[in-house]
Amino acid sequence: MGGEYRITGDKYPRMRRTGGRRRIVLAVVASAAALALVSWGTLQLIHVFSGGAKASAAGGAADCDRKAERAAAARKAKPLPKPGQIKVNILNATPRGGLAKKTADELKKRGFAIGEVGNATKAHDKKVKGIGLLLGAPAATDTTLPVLGTQLPGAEHQTDARKNGEVDLIIGTRFKDLAKKEDADKALAALAKPEPAPEPSGKNC
C-alpha cells in the first residue's frame, strides 16, 4: 500500500469477521423459535379439529333427536270429529241466489249437521274472492276445518274469536260445486289415517 500508511515487516495482521459468531447465534435462536411456533400451531390445530368433530357429532345427535320427536308426534294423529259432530253454517257471499241452500242440502246428505243457511254477513259479503272460506275457532285448525275442507278442496281456512264448535262455510265468487262425494270420501279416509312419518336414517345420525 502506498501513501502515508505502509505496512512494514514480514507479518501481516489478520482481518477477522467480528459479526460471524453473532449471526450463527441469531440463526440458532430463530430456528428454535420457528420450531416452537410450528409445534404450538400443530397442537392448536389438533385441538380445534378434535373439538370441532365432537361438536359436530353432538349437533348431529341433537338433530336426530329432534327428527325422532317430530316423527313420533306425526304418528300420534289427533282424533278427528265425524261429519255428524260438525255443525256447519252455510253462508252465501256471492250475488248468485240459491247456492247456500243447495250446498247445505248436499252436506246434509253427506252426514254433516247443518246450522244457519243464508247470506253472508257484511264483513264477508262479496269479499270472498276464492271458491270459499272455512271459518272456525282456533281449536278447529287441525280438527274440524280439515274435515270440512275435504268437501271443498282449495277453500281458505281461517279462525276467529268464537268459542263454540260451529264452523262457517262461506261461499266465494269462484265457487262452482262441492267436491264429488267419492273424492271427498277418499280425502276424508286419508285424513283419518295419515301415513306414518319415516324413521330417521342411521346414516344421517
pLDDT per residue rounded down to tens, the chain (205 residues): 455 555 555 555 555 555 567 777 676 667 777 676 776 766 666 665 665 545 454 555 566 556 556 545 554 567 899 999 999 999 999 999 999 999 999 999 999 999 999 999 999 999 999 999 999 999 999 999 999 999 999 999 999 999 999 999 999 999 999 999 999 999 999 998 866 555 555 555 5
* 137 and 119 Cβ atoms separated by less than 8 Å: no
How far is it, in rounded angstroms, from Cα 178 to Cα 150?
9
**3 state DSSP class of 82:** coil
Tell me the pTM: 0.60
What integer pLDDT is reported at residue 157 of this predicted model? 97
Instruction: Give which of 198, 91, 80 is closest to 148, Cα–Cα.
Output: 80
pLDDT of residue 192: 87
| Contact status, residue 155 vs residue 175, Cβ threshold 8 Å | no
What pLDDT score was predicted for residue 50?
Answer: 63
pLDDT at res. 75: 45
d(CA 104, CA 78): 27
What is the structure's pLDDT at 71?
47
